[in-house]
Amino acid sequence: MSGQRSDRRRVGWIGLGVMGAPMCGHVVAAGHDVVVHTRTAATAQPLLDVGARWAATPAEAAAGADVVFTMVGYPDDVRQVVAGDEGVLSTVPGGAVVVDLTTSRPSLAGELAELASVRGVGMLDAPVSGGDVGAREGRLVVMVGGEAAHLAAVRPLLDTFARSVTHFGPAGAGQHAKMANQTAIASTMVGVCESLCYAAAAGLDLAELIGCIGGGAAGSWSLENYGPRILRDDLAPGFKVDHFVKDLGIALEEATRLRLALPGLALAKELYVAVSAAGLGAQGTQALVTAVQRLSGRPASLASGGGAAGGE
């Protein structure tokens, strides 16, 4: 298949973590010519094994590319890989489009789009939702900010890992949509964890509970995907606690700037800061259950029913 398709694009890809690696895998599998770079080189090996090529720096991955994707951790990482000394913008050809998939600051998206535009390069902010499962299955939801023509140019590549792509407006609008997404998830996660802790304290069968209420009005992506992991005491990411703390911090800053009080979001952020402070920042967001349990002096894990240390 590789090399046969008439619309084959030269793609640079920076960042091969939980999300980036499977997403990039879909682009490679679609037959495009992909050059990858990530901080820990060993992570790239599975993609090199299926035809991607290695670049020593973001600049090297971007040289000669039609489209460059970045999927790194934090806004500072985005700034470094896009606009740093060995960043994408130092080599990417005029006419190319850079797509930042990282969850990052709306203001940074605007700043980088301006820098790119000076060089004749298009820039989109395109954060995603759907988690590690959605990335593996190529069923992510993509929220886009930037110019419609730039989105049209990269749409076939986004479609290799997305089930929906929505254009929200100019640079930064995709990140604002993602902050609205995270605001909804924040209180949902508190609700899911409190619900399971309540059921454990009441002595219910938790697997049966998830199966039952998941099919009713309490059903949610978070309950369906994270509930079973909580019951197995599987705290592996998934979506890292420290990344969620980053997102909730950005959302709260933006809300304050908009003179908007969001107490549910603020409460969720404080609980997640507590999870991170307890040494679980690199675990998945389902680790919130440990903080809720500990508030009432109960065992951190619900794997064996959650115990009844706080009394019935």
Q: Given the rule CB under 6 A, which residues bind ligand NAP?
A: 14-20, 38-40, 43, 71-73, 77, 80-81, 102-103, 128-129, 131-132, 238-240, 243, 247
Nearer to ligand NAP, 20 or 138 (CB): 20
Nearer to ligand NAP, 7 or 85 (CB): 85
Nearer to ligand NAP, 199 or 252 (CB): 252
Q: What would the two tokens of residue 190 be?
A: 């508190």
Nearer to ligand NAP, 209 or 248 (CB): 248
- What residue is closest to ligand NAP based on CB? 17
Sign, CA dihedral 263-268-269-274, equals positive
Our CA dihedral for 185, 186, 191, 196, rounded to 10 degrees, sits at 90
Min dist. Cβ of residue 307 to ligand NAP (A): 29
> Rounded CA gap, 278 and 148, in Å?
44
Do residues 34 and 27 lie in contact, with contact meaning Cβ atoms separated by under 8 Å? yes
Q: What would the two tokens of residue 108 be?
A: 């940074």
Nearest to 122, CA basis, from 142, 143, 152, 166? 152
Coil, strand or helix at 298:
coil
Beta strands 67-70 and 53-54 are: unpaired
Min dist. Cβ of residue 58 to ligand NAP (A): 7
Min dist. Cβ of residue 131 to ligand NAP (A): 4
DSSP string, 179-213: HHHHHHHHHHHHHHHHHHHHHHHTT--HHHHHHHH
- List 178, 240, 246, 269, catalytic entry: 178
The question of whether 178 is a catalytic residue gets the answer: yes
Nearer to ligand NAP, 228 or 307 (CB): 228
> Rounded CA gap, 39 and 54, in Å?
12
Min dist. Cβ of residue 265 to ligand NAP (A): 16
DSSP string, 120-137: T-EEEE--EESHHHHHHH
Work out the end-to-end distance of the chain between its first and last CA atoms, rounded to an integer number of angstroms.
62
> Rounded CA gap, 307 and 310, in Å?
8
CB atoms within 10 A of CB 176: 20
Nearer to ligand NAP, 178 or 298 (CB): 178
Q: What would the two tokens of residue 209 be?
A: 């509970």
Min dist. Cβ of residue 20 to ligand NAP (A): 5
Tell me the catalytic residues: 178
